[in-house]
Every structure is written in structure tokens, then in C-alpha cells.
Chains A and B, each alone.
Chain A
Amino acid sequence: MPSNRSGENRSVETVLDSTLDSVDTAEQIVLRAATDSGFGEDELHKIGVAIREAMVNAVVHGNRYSAHKKVRLAVSEAPDRLTIRIQDEGEGFDVASLPDPLAAENLLRQSGRGILLIRAFVDEFHVRHLESGGTELSLVLYRTRSS
């Protein structure tokens, strides 16, 4: 995979409304950074899926579309990795208690696959409960990652 064009650490932070338009906005911001970092087309698709699922989690399940709650997006480009952090202002969730979407009894459920797709498409995935309330999802992609 090509190296970061600048070789410098760069970051972008933005505050987004709890709307589906923000999911599109976040995808565009992250894909711009990932493209600049030299990720290839297939990688960009996976990053796009992961960021959309993480944003939907924040907007829909975290903030529940509340006009009074915001989503904070931070994208950091380092020479060896791209890190994306998404914070919501929701009540939080226990990732370990989520139903396994691969279990036979859950295969035909309509929802519950978002975290599975994030885990599948990024190198590292972390969930952190914020002291101020809300949840932070961290997605890390290494530039040396093999497809």
C-alpha cells in the first residue's frame, strides 16, 4: 500500500448533527483522509462500510436522532495508520451483551450486524464509555494492512 503522501500526522475534528445526512458527511470526510493516506479502492470500500456503521450506531442507537445531541468525529492520519473516533451522547451500550448475529437463532434478524461489519473491516476496534456520558468508537486501520 502506498505510503502517506506527506508523512506527517494530521487530524480533522468536526461536530455533526444526529441525522442520516451526517452519516454521508462523515463517510466523505473519512474517505478523503483515507484516499490521501494512500488506501486502495477495496480498502476504501471497507473503510466506508465501517465508518457508516459506526456513524449509524451513534446517530440512531446512541443519540436516537435527537436534535439536542451531537456526534463528534475525529480523523487522525499518522504515517502508519488512520484512526477514526466517533463519540455520541447516548446512554451507552455493552458490546459484550449484544446478541451474536452469527448464531443460528439470530441469522434471520433484521438488525444487529453493524458491529460485526465494523470488526470485519478494520484492524482495531475499541468501545469506550465516556465519563461525560455517551460512547466512543475507535476504528484503526494500518497502512501496511493486507487486503
Chain B
Amino acid sequence: MSVKLSSRQVGDVTVIDAAGRITLGEGSSSFRDTVRDHIAKGNKKLLINLAEVSYIDSSGIGELVTAFTTVTNNGGQLKLLNLTHRVQDLLQITKLYTVFEVFSDEAVGVRSFA
């Protein structure tokens, strides 16, 4: 299964719920397009909910990083929510835990943008 993405607004924060696999090909391009669409609409506070993401490869990690830099360069913020232990492992291995703000509680994550 490739990735399924849906977006919802919580105040002025856009929560993107992702489910499935973010891998090279359709999965990573869908994620990239979704983030770009939000930036184009002026939604610059993005909280990516990865609770239902079973698998991310290096291409998917690359898309997370690119999304982070794109949002940041546009004056916004991108943070992560609800990492599975496998995704946590990947962020540890790649040292990206030093880059991303990560939350396990959505309300706390949303408030952090204020």
C-alpha cells in the first residue's frame, strides 16, 4: 500500500494524517505534492501525523527533510507527530531527531506553534 494523506485544520495549524508507506515513487511524490499545495495556499504551520505510517525508506526520509526546509524557507514550521518506534529508529540512525521537533500528543504539538 502506498501512502494515504488527508489534511485537517486545527486552529491555524494544518495536521496532515499520513498512513501506509512513504517510499520512492508514488508515496514520496504524493507527500511532496501535498506539502507544496499547503505552502501554496499559505498554510505554513504543518504538523505531520505519522501514527499510521508503517514504513519510510531513505527517499521518504528525504521528502520529510525537503518538506522541512521548504516550509522553513517560506517562513513556516513543520513538526512531526506520533512516530512509530520504527520511524523513531530511522530518525535516530540518520540524526534527524536533532532537526525535527517531535510530539506524541496532538494538542501539545498544535499549541507549540503559537
Mask of A100-130 contacts with B, CB within 8 angstroms, 1/0: 0110000111111110110010000000000
Q: Which A residues lie within 8 Å of B63 (CB)? A: 110
Complex Cα gap A23–B69 (Å): 28
B40 to chain A minimum Cβ distance, whole angstroms, is: 20
User: A102's closest neighbor in chain B, by CB?
Assistant: B95
Stretch at the interface among B5-13, B43-51, B54-62, B106-114: B54-62
User: A103's closest neighbor in chain B, by CB?
Assistant: B95
Complex Cα gap A46–B18 (Å): 21
Contact of A52 among B23, B94, B99 (CB under 8 A): B23
Interface residue tally for chain A (C-beta within 8 Å): 22
Q: Which B residues lie within 8 Å of A88 (CB)? A: none
Q: Which B residues lie within 8 Å of A120 (CB)? A: 93
B31 at the interface (CB under 8 A from A): no
B19 at the interface (CB under 8 A from A): no
Complex Cα gap A48–B57 (Å): 10
Query: Given the interface contacts A56-B24, A56-B57, does A107 sit within 8 Å of B93 by beta carbon?
Result: no
Contact of B86 among A45, A60, A108 (CB under 8 A): A45
By the criterion CB–CB under 8 Å, are B95 and A111 in contact? Answer: no
Q: Which A residues lie within 8 Å of B68 (CB)? A: 108
By the criterion CB–CB under 8 Å, are A108 and B69 in contact? Answer: yes
A53 at the interface (CB under 8 A from B): yes
Q: Which B residues lie within 8 Å of A48 (CB)? A: 55
Contact of A117 among B23, B58, B66, B99 (CB under 8 A): B58
Q: Which B residues lie within 8 Å of A101 (CB)? A: 94
B102 at the interface (CB under 8 A from A): no
Q: Which B residues lie within 8 Å of A52 (CB)? A: 23, 57
B42 at the interface (CB under 8 A from A): no
Q: Which A residues lie within 8 Å of B61 (CB)? A: 113
User: B94's closest neighbor in chain A, by CB?
Assistant: A113
Specify which of A48, A52, A60 lies most central, judged by the most chain B CB atoms within 10 Å of its CB.
A52
Residues of A bordering B, CB below 8 Å: 20, 23, 45, 48-49, 52-53, 56, 60, 101-102, 107-114, 116-117, 120
Please name the 8 residue pairs, one residue from A and one from B, whose CB atoms are nearest each other, closest first: A110-B62, A113-B58, A114-B58, A120-B93, A110-B66, A20-B25, A102-B95, A111-B62
